[in-house]
Amino acid sequence: MNFTAGLFAEGWLWGAYVLASAVLVWIIRTGPWASLRRPERINVWLGTSVALMLVWRMKAGVLPGLDLHLLGAMVATLLFGPQLAMAVLAIVLAAVVLATGGDWPSLGLNWLLMVVWPVLVAEGVRRLVAWRLPRHFFVYVFVVAFFGSAATVMAQGLLASVVLSIAGVYSLEFLASDYLPYFLLLGFSEAWLSGAVITVMVIYRPDWVATFDDRLYLKNK
């Protein structure tokens, strides 16, 4: 998904920037920025941004605003927490827009729908699972990283469709039949990729995963 400014009235674009600015202030004020002072953490953070830039460039779509691509929102959230995940994905989005000659007026709206919302869903899934299910390695990998990744993609597609419908860009019937079903396939792909990446990291470099704690997920299990 990559909304262009021409699809929306100015009210949508300005409103998105106002809301995006409020989220940005929250990120700056509450984000664990001190963790990036460690050379290893900043390297992982920047390396993740480069990897996701390549992933976001691989997309498919036939109509304006209906592009499909993997997000990496769950991976970023598990690695860094929600604030730093939103920040790293903001870098990814800005770099992709710059590289593809995209329009900047829609940047705020795209960031809210492709970054902020999926990261919030990813963090919500992580917290819900931690609250309702046992703290176990396989729960973290399969339920959070695997199924949670699919949930973030499908939630993103659902919100994007609602926005497109309310804004009068496409009809809800068209989106439900010719756009939303593809998010099931995309979610499956995202789940496999995110599950594999997180599994490798928690096995070999658990210190890179901010939301994973050996004492909680492995000790005495």
Query: Which residues 6+ apart lie within 8 Å of 82 measured at CB?
Result: 119, 120, 122, 123
Q: What is the band of 86 on the pLDDT scale with cuts at 50, 70, 90?
A: very high
Q: What is the CATH number of the domain that holds 153?
A: 1.10.1760.20
> How confident is the prediction for the chain on average, in pLDDT?
92
Q: What is the pLDDT of residue 62?
A: 65
Expressed as residue numbers, the domain containing 141 is 5-217
Tell me how far apart the alpha carbons of residues 32 and 205 are, in angstroms, rounded to a whole number. 20
When computed from its CA atoms, the radius of gyration of the chain, rounded to whole angstroms, is: 17
Q: Say whether pLDDT at 98 is over 80.
A: yes
pLDDT for 142-177, tens place per residue? 999 999 999 999 999 999 999 999 999 999 999 999
Nearest-5° Cα angle at 26, 24 to 56? 40
Q: What is the pLDDT of residue 135?
A: 87
Q: What is the band of 1 on the pLDDT scale with cuts at 50, 70, 90?
A: low
Q: Say whether pLDDT at 182 is over 60.
A: yes
pTM, rounded to two decimals: 0.94
pLDDT for 189-201, tens place per residue? 999 999 999 999 9
pLDDT for 35-74, tens place per residue? 999 999 999 999 999 999 999 988 887 677 788 899 999 9
Nearest-5° Cα angle at 80, 74 to 81? 70
Tell me how far apart the alpha carbons of residues 100 and 92 are, in angstroms, rounded to a whole number. 12
**Domain tally for the chain?**
1
pLDDT for 122-137, tens place per residue? 999 999 999 999 988 9
